[in-house]
Amino acid sequence: MTISRRSLLGAAGASAALAPAVAQTQSQAKAAEPSDKVGFAIVGLGKLSLGQLIPGLKVAKNARLAAVVSGHPDKARRVAAENGLPADAVYGYDDYDRIAKDPRIQVVYVVLPNALHAEHTIKALKAGKHVLCEKPMATSIKDAEAMIAAAKAADRHLMIAYRCHYEPMNLDVMRRLRARSLGRVRQINTTMGRQADPSDPSDAWRLDGELSGNGALGDMGVYGVSAARYLLNEEPIAVQAWAQTDRTDPRFKETEDLINWQFRFPSGVIANGSTSFAYAPTMAFEAICEQGRLVADPAAFYGGNRLTVVKGGQAQPPVPAPPGDQFAREMDWMADVVRGKAPMVSPGEEGLQDMRLMQAILESAAKDGATVRTDWGYRRAVDPAVAVNVA
């Protein structure tokens, strides 16, 4: 099943004022010939790369796997062979400056622990490649700014892998809110967390202050920070936050656990956000409007996201998200950006804004909820609700 922009808008009751910025939807676009697909090099062969991204590239319309970069040569050779890549499409971290001379690679997708994003992004940009970088963008504002500067200097695209900007259910909610289908929105609630397992190497670095940056907040909370902003299409002017961390729990020697925050927006909307690495898994949000609620639960899983519209106290049957691979959609979008067929929706500046807001959250939490002003004047360049059309 495909979902067109027309049916999305119809469902949302949106007005013609939301005219598309790009004429062709991804659902209408035909898949490129294999030789015309944009070549991606995946840097880091961990859980996300092996479980989601490489499978996503198999079903992508305009993107294809062109190379792998890993510190584990045996694993890299095995993954390359399984995916039909030639031996010379396998790179190590210390020799991947060579990608500059590899015309098969147009995009480098950085899928490493957060503290390594900046180094590998900048390296790839200097090699003349476009970069898709995983969230959170970096572990410091300084690094995020350096990544943006490197993209400008190299005249290459830098996109942050905010998959929800390209996911049909999230786009549906954005459009319903823009169209005021339940009246004005008054409050947003986001809850993004799970139980971290320190025996899993993939979680061990997430609990490490240096490698993760800020633990649950950067890993899970960032989805809520970003969602409040894209649901409302405005930016917070002030934040207050509180943290609650059990320091006797061996998981939280270096990072905070439970953090709750409150964003105030210029329109008067208040967004409550919560994250934790020690509560039951949840990735949900809710928009409370004048005449009803939009409840997305789950809102940001890899599949099966579900929207419930509650109007006048009455829950309507859930609207399931259409099937399709979120990661393929996101990489196809990047491929279209590179080919000049789609606007950049989640540039480095979007990642930096979330980094700055997360820093404000931590600053407020350190002062037990003191108000931190966040009205530094950032505005997103492109509204996903208007620009993104996906199958």
Are 385 and 174 a contacting pair, CB within 8 Å? yes
Residues 6+ apart with CB under 8 A from 291: 182, 183, 311, 312
Least gap, CB of 138 to ligand NAD (angstroms) = 10
Least gap, CB of 300 to ligand NAD (angstroms) = 8
Please say which residue, 212 or 359, places its beta carbon nearer to ligand NAD: 212
Residue 162 vs residues 4, 88, 104, 216, 316: alpha-carbon distances, Å: 21, 30, 25, 17, 29
- Note the Cα 219 to chain centre separation in Å: 10
Least gap, CB of 219 to ligand NAD (angstroms) = 6
Please say which residue, 135 or 156, places its beta carbon nearer to ligand NAD: 135
Please say which residue, 18 or 116, places its beta carbon nearer to ligand NAD: 116
**Positive or negative torsion for Cα 222, 223, 226, 232:** negative
Least gap, CB of 186 to ligand NAD (angstroms) = 29
Is residue 75 flagged as an active site residue? no
Q: What residue ranges bind ligand NAD (CB under 6 A)?
A: 44-49, 71, 111-114, 116, 134-135, 161, 163, 201-202, 205, 211, 219
- Nearest alpha-carbon partner for 96 in 75, 62, 115, 121: 121
Pairing verdict, β 270-276 and 185-195:
parallel
The catalytically annotated residue of 135, 162, 166, 230 is: 135
Least gap, CB of 129 to ligand NAD (angstroms) = 18
Least gap, CB of 51 to ligand NAD (angstroms) = 8
Please say which residue, 145 or 197, places its beta carbon nearer to ligand NAD: 197
Please say which residue, 26 or 139, places its beta carbon nearer to ligand NAD: 139
Q: Both ends of the chain: CA-CA distance in Å?
A: 8
Please say which residue, 202 or 267, places its beta carbon nearer to ligand NAD: 202
Least gap, CB of 151 to ligand NAD (angstroms) = 18
Are 129 and 107 a contacting pair, CB within 8 Å? yes
Please say which residue, 49 or 189, places its beta carbon nearer to ligand NAD: 49
Is residue 311 flagged as an active site residue? no
**Positive or negative torsion for Cα 163, 130, 376, 193:** positive
Please say which residue, 119 or 234, places its beta carbon nearer to ligand NAD: 119
Q: Which residues pair with 42 in a beta bridge?
A: 68, 109
Are 303 and 327 a contacting pair, CB within 8 Å? no
- Ranked by CB distance to ligand NAD, the top (closest) residue is 46
Least gap, CB of 334 to ligand NAD (angstroms) = 13
- φ/ψ region of 312 (left if φ > 0, alpha if ψ in -120 to 50, else beta) reads left
Cβ-in-10-Å burial (0-12, 13-18, 19+) of 213 comes to buried
The catalytically annotated residue of 91, 166, 223, 230 is: 223
Could you give the count of Cα atoms lying within 13 Å of 339 in the half-sphere of its Cβ? Answer: 14
Residues known to be catalytic: 135, 223
